[in-house]
A and B are shown apart, each in its own frame.
Chain A
Amino acid sequence: MAMTDVTLRPADRVATPQKISISLLLNGAAAQLEVAPWTTLLDALRDQLKLTGTKKGCDHGQCGACTVLVDGRRVNSCLTLAVMKDGAEVTTIEGLAKNGQLHPLQQAFIDHDAFQCGYCTPGQICSAAGLMAEGKARTDDEIRELMSGNICRCGAYPNILAAIKQAMNGDRS
């Protein structure tokens, strides 16, 4: 197969990293950091802020493992440039528990054994928190559809659905 020309174009040359100072309200506390324009929110969280609960799965917005809440809405942090979120409120899996009490979704995932390897779980839980805040899902079909951005390669979907329903209904089963 013919190869295309991969000669570096001017824009490919490494520019002097020009870091930009941003502030976040991160899990309820003010955070200040310096980021390069190309640093994703995911990498900033994991590498700079040492919050490794948020996972890097595909790094292309296809798996949902990196899901966090930005200003209360669930987003893929791998496709979010950190510099663009200056001033935003960011909630990660580390910020969901309050006063030593697990978030109802965290408890529900334990109650229903809604994982196997656990790698997708932080993203599943943050996504489900966003789903509950949106208030658009009522039926099982609607929960499944609106959770389709979170892939679980262990296939724990029935238990994830049961856990989300428990948290939505505010009960323990």
Chain B
Amino acid sequence: MINFEYARARDVSDAVRQVAANPTAKFIAGGTNIVDLMKANVERPSLLIDVTRLPLTRVNGAGGALRVGALVPNSDLAYHPEVQQRYPLVASAVLAGASQQLRNMASTGGNLVQRTRCAYFYDVATPCNKRAPGTGCSAINGLNRMHAILGTSDACIATHPSDMAVALLALDAKVHVTGPSGDRVIPIAEFHRLPGDTPQQDTNLQHGELITAIELPPEEFSKNYSYLKVRDRLSYAFALVSVAAALDLDGDRIHVARLAVGGVAHKPWRDTAVEDSLRGQRADRAVFTRAADLLLRDAKGFGHNTFKIGLAHRAIVRTLTQAANATPQSQSNKKIQ
């Protein structure tokens, strides 16, 4: 790990001021990703501003919504009684990710800004446009089994690794941030970016902007939901494909559908055209199959990951079926019903 300076933020504005003033400064909270990336020499900050002592650890209701402080650990988020009861899709997705040790450390805000686990991004001896812009993408013609099938560019085919963010996207969460020019609220759908020709930018956060809270909107989808994660081993692995589905049913008809897919793109993937197409339809396999066809209409494989197109199709149909039947995927008994 490179040498760096360290300081503890006194309050949110102090944290923002210190990072904004130094282009190579970064915030640190749980540290589970940035410390690892520093060991790999991928992240090389000159200064880390420790935000862990800031008062951003509360979960509280506000006008039917639920506001989760950015420093709430992932494990506390997943086990919070209100999250379990009102937003079980979020609890399920969080528990599908990482290990309990890491969930104890990792913060809610940090989860959103974790970086891709593309092996080439981590390997500083290989070209990577995300790590070293302009050097090329090693994955496009390389070992790309874990890589994206939607929204890729010639510059980057990395995937976003978060499970939590997939559920937050399906639920239309909002990200509250404080920056040098004040506070703003970013809809989760506009938080992460596609790679385009600037894959070095994962999100639309500006340097010095600190996530202070995540807001879960009043629509809970606490009955008809499921989070299904398919991976190379049963636990503690990143998704090949994951699906978050939430339905509001009127009898056997779909009133509202929410569908987000992880492991397939540079950001959690959601296609509102697919959700619109489900409105008023019967909640059955034929309808779900057409929805999967539509969502994957532009999917493109790169060789090793081409199987993901079929896998994603089946996972979408299965997860929507689980949601419609109110039989969400268990995150401990991994048998897929």
**Residues in chain A within 8 A of chain B (CB atoms):** 1-6, 9-12, 14-15, 17-18, 20, 36-38, 40, 59-61, 64, 67, 73-76, 79-81, 83-84, 127, 130-131, 134, 136, 139, 141-142, 144-150
Contact flag A148-B39 (CB < 8 Å), given A61-B102, A75-B105, A83-B6: no
A4:B125 contact, CB within 8 angstroms: yes
Contacts of B38 in A (CB 8 A): 38
Contacts of A146 in B (CB 8 A): 100, 332
B3:A81 contact, CB within 8 angstroms: no
Contacts of A134 in B (CB 8 A): 75, 100
Q: How far is the CA of A21 from the CA of B69 in the complex (A)?
A: 29
Contacts of A150 in B (CB 8 A): 99
Q: How far is the CA of A79 from the CA of B104 in the complex (A)?
A: 12
B104:A74 contact, CB within 8 angstroms: yes
Contact flag A149-B1 (CB < 8 Å), given A2-B135, A136-B79, A139-B332: no
Cβ-based interface call for B272 (8 A) = no
**What are 12 A-B contacts defined by CB distance under 8 Å?**
A1-B138, A12-B2, A15-B4, A37-B48, A73-B104, A80-B35, A83-B50, A84-B31, A141-B332, A141-B334, A145-B332, A146-B100
Contact flag A76-B2 (CB < 8 Å), given A9-B44, A149-B236: no
Q: How far is the CA of A79 from the CA of B22 in the complex (A)?
A: 24
B95-133 interface with A by 8 A CB criterion:
98-102, 104-105, 124-128, 131-132
A1:B126 contact, CB within 8 angstroms: yes
Contacts of B333 in A (CB 8 A): 139, 141
Q: How far is the CA of A139 from the CA of B48 in the complex (A)?
A: 41
B236:A81 contact, CB within 8 angstroms: no
B3:A17 contact, CB within 8 angstroms: yes
Contacts of B126 in A (CB 8 A): 1, 4
A67:B125 contact, CB within 8 angstroms: no
Q: How far is the CA of A14 from the CA of B44 in the complex (A)?
A: 12
Cβ-based interface call for B36 (8 A) = yes
Contacts of A142 in B (CB 8 A): 332
Contact flag A4-B135 (CB < 8 Å), given A37-B6, A142-B332, A146-B100: yes
Contact flag A15-B100 (CB < 8 Å), given A4-B125, A40-B35, A84-B31: no
Q: How far is the CA of A146 from the CA of B78 in the complex (A)?
A: 13
Nearest-neighbour CB distance to chain B for A139, whole angstroms, equals 7
Question: Chain B interface secondary structure, helix, strand, loop or mixed?
Answer: loop
Nearest-neighbour CB distance to chain B for A14, whole angstroms, equals 5
Which of the four size classes fits the interface of chain B?
Answer: 35 or more
B44:A11 contact, CB within 8 angstroms: yes
Interface centre among A3, A84, A127, A144 (most CB of B within 10 A): A84
**Residues in chain B within 8 A of chain A (CB atoms):** 1-6, 24, 28, 31-32, 35-36, 38-39, 44-46, 48, 50, 52, 75, 79, 98-102, 104-105, 124-128, 131-132, 135-136, 138, 234-236, 330-334
A4:B36 contact, CB within 8 angstroms: no
B104:A12 contact, CB within 8 angstroms: no
Q: How far is the CA of A30 from the CA of B57 in the complex (A)?
A: 27
Q: How far is the CA of A3 from the CA of B282 in the complex (A)?
A: 55
A61:B28 contact, CB within 8 angstroms: no
B3:A149 contact, CB within 8 angstroms: no
Interface centre among B2, B46, B104 (most CB of A within 10 A): B104
B44:A79 contact, CB within 8 angstroms: no
Contact flag A14-B79 (CB < 8 Å), given A127-B101, A141-B333, A149-B236: no
Contacts of A4 in B (CB 8 A): 124-128, 131-132, 135
Contacts of B1 in A (CB 8 A): 38
Q: Of B46, B99, B136, which is within 8 A of A148 by CB?
A: B99
Contacts of B234 in A (CB 8 A): 148
Nearest-neighbour CB distance to chain A for B118, whole angstroms, equals 14
Contact flag A145-B101 (CB < 8 Å), given A4-B135, A18-B5, A84-B28: no
Contacts of B124 in A (CB 8 A): 4, 6
Q: A37-B3, A79-B35, A148-B99 are in contact. List 18 more A-B contacts (CB 8 A).
A: A2-B127, A2-B136, A4-B124, A4-B132, A6-B124, A9-B44, A10-B24, A37-B5, A37-B6, A40-B35, A64-B99, A67-B101, A76-B32, A81-B31, A81-B48, A141-B333, A145-B235, A149-B102
